[in-house]
Amino acid sequence: MTKRSFSLFTLALLFISASTKVLAVPTDELIHQLNAQVLRVQVALANGSYGLGSGVVVAKDHVVTNCHVVANAVSVSVVSNGSSFSASGVIPDWKHDVCVLKVEGLDAPTATIGASKNLKYEQPVFTIGYPSFLPIPTSTYGVVKGLFPMDDSVVIRATSSFRMGASGGGVFDDDGKLVGIITLKSPGRNAYYYNMPVEWVQALLDKPVQPIVTKSELPFWAKSLDEWPYFMKVVQPYLTEDWQALKEIASQWVQAEPSATEAWFYLAAAEYATKDTLKAEEHLHKVVAMNSQHSQAIYYLGLIAEANGQHGEALTQMALLSHLDEYAASELKTAIGVAQ
């Protein structure tokens, strides 16, 4: 493969794997403090089976988790410091997959609430949850790669991975503030990881408590493909290199949401792959003008500059990228033929 015939599938893998960049890992003291705020959620279902998830203490006697964790439950409990506490009710937001459990008598520290809307691309974040059947909380580290405006906040895509059981756990910024709730990943081994914003949690705290057995509804991400938001629709064609499908979806997205940075990025990615380089370059510059920290757009602009014989411009893009994503900057350096 020549340096100018990079597969965009390789590019997709590059940016999924960007969590390999050097991250500022929180101190052991901070992790220990936050671990006490993240609890195991245990669910007894109507069909006689059991389920597990995670939750975060967001106010006195209030624990947030995902609604899909507690859907169809006949009873729910949380485990804090080795003791089990039964939930007496739930405050559900089924659409957004955010449910707050009322757990009276819970003696656990409360998370400090941050703001999802203040996050920036490439900002380090980390998760804490209880994946699988592990008895202790587990942390993963990454950076923000996507912020998708939705219903007065933003859905967060980050490279901090998670596994089944961590749903409902916390996403924290470097200061240990809760900024999101671990929720879902896209299918396949090169998954995109999505987290619901903390603002949706805050909106529930003053709403009335309902019985645990309240009838559940599907969240937005579990509905039919036609009802998915565009930021979910673009993932599969992007990763499978179905560029015509991606161009069609992204074109619809920019028409529906012209201020959505990611809509223009995915349109540009499709144009680049189908050799409509002039349009791709125009739209990538638009992406960077809207979000100067969009490392994927900067990477593509470096490749285009080198392909156009503008080596100096490619070096400029590489320098910009080095401040955002060292791994991506290294890949661009290799792609444009700069010695390591």
Angstrom CA distances, 123 to 12, 19, 300, stand at: 19, 11, 20
Residue 265: pLDDT over 50: yes
Which range, of 15-24, 192-201, 223-232, 260-269, averages the lowest pLDDT? Answer: 15-24
Check whether 59 has a pLDDT greater than 60. Answer: yes
**Range 80-108 average pLDDT:** 96
Residue 18 has pLDDT above 60, yes or no: no
The class (CATH top level) of 32-110+204-219 is mainly beta
CATH 2.40.10.10 intervals, the chain: 32-110+204-219, 113-198
Is residue 25 scored above 60 in pLDDT?
yes
Identify the CATH number of the domain defined by range 113-198.
2.40.10.10
The radius of gyration computed from the CA coordinates of the chain, to the nearest angstrom, equals 21
Q: What percent of the chain has pLDDT over 70?
A: 92
Instruction: Supply 148's token pair.
Output: 């998708």
What pLDDT does 19 receive? 38
pLDDT at 299: 96
Question: What residues does CATH 1.25.40.10 cover in the chain?
Answer: 8-21+224-335
Q: What is the pLDDT of residue 23?
A: 55
Mean pLDDT of the chain: 91
What pLDDT shows up at residue 193?
Answer: 95
| 6: pLDDT strictly greater than 60 | no
Mean pLDDT value across residues 66-95? 96
Rounded to an integer, the average pLDDT of 4-19 is 34
The answer on pLDDT for 258 being more than 60 is yes
β-partners of residue 332 are none
pLDDT tens digits, one per residue of 115-169: 999 999 999 999 999 998 788 899 999 999 999 999 999 999 999 989 888 999 9
- CATH for the stretch 8-21+224-335: 1.25.40.10
Pick from 89, 42, 95: nearest CA to 62: 89
Q: Which two tokens stand for residue 234?
A: 């673009």
- Contact call for residues 212 and 74 (beta carbons, < 8 A): yes
Mean pLDDT along residues 20-41 = 83
Model confidence at 8: pLDDT above 50: no
Nearest by Cα to 159 from 275, 57, 22? 22
